[in-house]
Amino acid sequence: MYHIVLCDDEKEILEELLERVRKCFEARGISARYDGITDARVLMERMRCERIDVLFLDIDMPYYSGMDIAGVLYEQYRDTILVFVTSHDALVYQTFAYRPFGFVRKTHADEELDPLCGRICGELLENTRELAVRKGQELMRVLLKDIVYMEAEGNYLLLRVRASASGDAAACADDGEGLLRIRETMADMEGALSGKGFIRCHKGFLINAAYIERLGSAGVALSDGTRCWQLPVGRSYEKEVRRRVMELLRM
């Protein structure tokens, strides 16, 4: 059973949003426990000892802002799916560094909430999806959520996996930094991962959008919470990368 939490200091808005969220997930057959929290301090305390699968978080709250709480999630690199809820559209652009899954504007909740919940349901399932790859004579299974990026190396691919990766990804790394070398082409891998949150940013790189920390003129910065990488964005890919990032975040 999933644990879905909503935090907003305005009680009436919280209760209304909680009921809407519950209906959206129940309509899709998702079994979950729901908690509504009005005090950010209580949320911070419960985050220390409870698993939270999905968190709907108001940005503007007393004691701790939504970005303060998101910062804690980011530093711990939890798998919590984070959704910011706000009445101030301008604040959305300040949250990008915390890699939110999406946003709900309180004034547009009627049209934005249901499709977002649909995407979250897909993500909950996607978190258990695996990629079967062959390394030498060995067939390995790597969770898609553990892959940070892929780099082309001739007829091979270098798969960079996150520091907290488990299973085959951690056991079979070629070095102490989570790097797997497999025989596969970038074109074939891009096709296999189409629609699964990966973006081609350069002829030599395929990145997992979940790890994007910053996108700018110098390229794209990725982080798994303990390590950071700066990768190039090819000129011919730049427009599509920005479009895909905005599409994934539904900004």
Q: CB–CB of 180/133 below 8 Å?
A: yes
**Average pLDDT taken over every residue of the chain:** 85
**What pLDDT was estimated at residue 82?**
92
- C-alpha distances in Å from residue 209, one per residue of 12, 189, 214, 220: 34, 15, 11, 10
Residue of 218 and 236 predicted with greater confidence: 236
CATH number at residue 233: 2.40.50.1020
Residues 117 and 162 placed together within one structural domain of the fold: no
Radius of gyration from C-alpha coordinates of the chain: 19
Q: Which of 166 and 100 is assigned the larger pLDDT? A: 100
Q: Indicate whether 107 and 144 sit together in one domain.
A: no
Angle at 85 between CA 149 and CA 230, to 5 degrees: 20
Cα 248 to Cα 238: distance, rounded to the nearest angstrom: 15
Same structural domain for residues 199 and 114? no
Helix (H) or strand (E) holding 28: none
Say whether both 83 and 194 belong to one domain.
no
d(CA 199, CA 231): 12
Answer yes or no: do 111 and 210 share one domain: no
Give the end of a domain, one of 126, 159, 183: 126
Per-residue pLDDT band for 99 (boundaries 50, 70, 90) equals: confident
- Domain containing 151 equals 130-249
Number of other CB atoms surrounding residue 218 within 10 Å:
10
* pLDDT score at 181: 87
Q: What is the pLDDT of residue 168?
A: 56
**pLDDT value of position 190:** 92
Of the candidates 126, 154, 176, which is a domain's last residue?
A: 126
pLDDT at 233: 94
Quote the pLDDT of residue 166: 58
Q: Can you tell me the mean pLDDT for 191-206?
A: 90
Query: Is residue 44 over pLDDT 50?
Result: yes
Kindly provide the residue ranges of all beta strands, DSSP E only, lying in the chain, ordered along the sequence. 2-7, 32-37, 54-58, 81-86, 102-105, 130-135, 138-143, 147-153, 156-161, 179-183, 198-202, 205-208, 212-216, 219-223, 228-231
In this prediction, residue 57 carries a pLDDT of: 94
Q: Domain holding 43: CATH number?
A: 3.40.50.2300
| Residue of higher predicted confidence among 131 and 58 | 58
* pLDDT at residue 231 is higher than 90: yes
Residues 20 and 99 in one domain: yes
What one-character-per-residue DSSP string does 184-225 give? Answer: --HHHHHHHTTTTTEEEEETTEEEEGGGEEEEETTEEEEE-S
Does residue 251 carry a pLDDT above 50? no
Q: Are residues 173 and 145 in the same domain?
A: yes
Determine the average pLDDT of the residues in 206-234: 88
pLDDT at 201 over 80: yes
Name 179's Cβ contacts closer than 8 Å, sequence gap at least 6: 158, 159, 160, 161, 173
In this structure, the answer to whether residues 25 and 117 fall within a common structural domain is yes
The count of structural domains within the chain is 2
